[in-house]
Amino acid sequence: MADKRDFYEVLGVSKSATDDEIKKAYRKLAKQYHPDLNPGDKQAEQKFKEVSEAYEILSDKEKRSRYDQFGHAGVDPNFGAGGGAGGGFGGFGGFGGFDMGDIFGDIFGGGFSSRGTSRRGPQRGSNVSAQVTISFEEAAFGCEKEINIYRIENCPDCDGTGAKPGTETATCTVCGGTGQVRSTQRTILGNMQTVTTCSACGGKGTVVKDPCPKCAGKGKIKKGRKIKVKIPSGIDDGQTISLSGQGNVGESGAPSGDLYVAVNVRPSADFKRSGFDVSYDMTISFAEAALGATVEVPTLDGKVKYDIPEGTQPGTVFRFKGKGIPYLKRSGRGDQYVRVNIEVPKHLSKKQKDLLREFAGMAKPKSKGFFDK
């Protein structure tokens, strides 16, 4: 015992440490030195044994009290004080009221237990994916579409049992109906018990003696379905709609998965979208830009009349408030922006050219140039 380190020193805690502090320190060190994480490292294996022994004593109130009073002698069975500090750990079931399976489950994500793991419950059905293509206007204002999908459903003949109608399933002889198979393995840490899903019945606990002809005893079939999907107004290209419970059926009454519908939006010939705003390029004549005019402008709601002011320049942008895309899942709409392009006339007649030359002569800049001054 003379070469044994102080248990508090081993865990790196003070003598006044709480149970939670001791447990936290042990978790950290056990993970650091665990043999599975340090294969072939004898020093790490020895460290792991040391911190496990320290935790066994300090996590037990009675043993800790004896250790605080008498030191190592107070917990050494060779001194008649009880304890059993040094001998092989005897499994993981009773260290100071803590379940060591829980501790190692936290560290390694499960798999360690002296009392077995809980049985795997019925699994939720997997999700199903589909796509739908809609127009620009349908995306703006919403619509309803019918799509075709294939999903796994319970067999209608056997209602998902896999047994031929009129027959019953039998208890699995391999697992005795538990759906699990337990095995015990001796390790340097003591006896470890692992629980795995029974391969004979797939975890169901029952086997089919006389299979259902329709589903060949699987209890499930793949079936095509037509599903109506409500497309909300304001949805954009590439976004996804989820329909709860419309995916593949779950096991043994567990919930079905979900259906995820990816939305593809066809581009518009007239409008471009940016967030919830839309833009439109409008071409007007030179005369309309110079003199002003009343024009019809296409919008998502139809054509509206707009007064173009005289002297409008190329590239001028007009804003139509509230004429854009409806906001997704809330009230209000974006705006529409109209950019003006001015068409330069081609193939003019002689009379048109003469009039333009006359206009050009009358429309000389009023300001004087440097040489004029």
Instruction: Name residues whose C-beta falls within 8 Å of residue 351's C-beta, 6 or more positions apart in sequence.
Output: none
Cβ distance 264 to 134 under 8 Å? Answer: yes
- Residue 36 has φ and ψ, to the nearest 5°, of -65, -25
Burial class (CB in 10 A: 0-12, 13-18, 19+), 73: middle
CA quadruple 38, 43, 46, 50: dihedral, nearest 10: -100
User: Under DSSP, is residue 194 helix (H, G, I), strand (E, B) or coil?
Assistant: strand
Burial class (CB in 10 A: 0-12, 13-18, 19+), 40: exposed
**Percentage helix, strand, coil, to 5, in the chain?**
25, 30, 45
Cβ distance 189 to 109 under 8 Å? Answer: no
The H helix count followed by the E strand count for the chain is: 8, 15
User: Under DSSP, is residue 206 helix (H, G, I), strand (E, B) or coil?
Assistant: strand
Q: In which residue are the tokens 């803590």 written?
A: 98
Reduce the secondary structure of 272-303 to three states and give it as a string: EEECCEEEEEEEEEHHHHHHCEEEEEEECCEE
Which residue ranges are tagged as binding site for Zn(2+)? 155, 158, 172, 175, 198, 201, 212, 215
User: Under DSSP, is residue 33 helix (H, G, I), strand (E, B) or coil?
Assistant: helix
Cβ distance 46 to 183 under 8 Å? Answer: no
* Structure tokens belonging to residue 43: 């020093």
- Residue 328 has φ and ψ, to the nearest 5°, of -75, 120
Cβ distance 114 to 100 under 8 Å? Answer: yes
Which residue ranges are tagged as binding site? 155, 158, 172, 175, 198, 201, 212, 215
* Structure tokens belonging to residue 283: 């071409």
| Distance separating alpha carbons of residues 370 and 273, to the nearest angstrom | 48
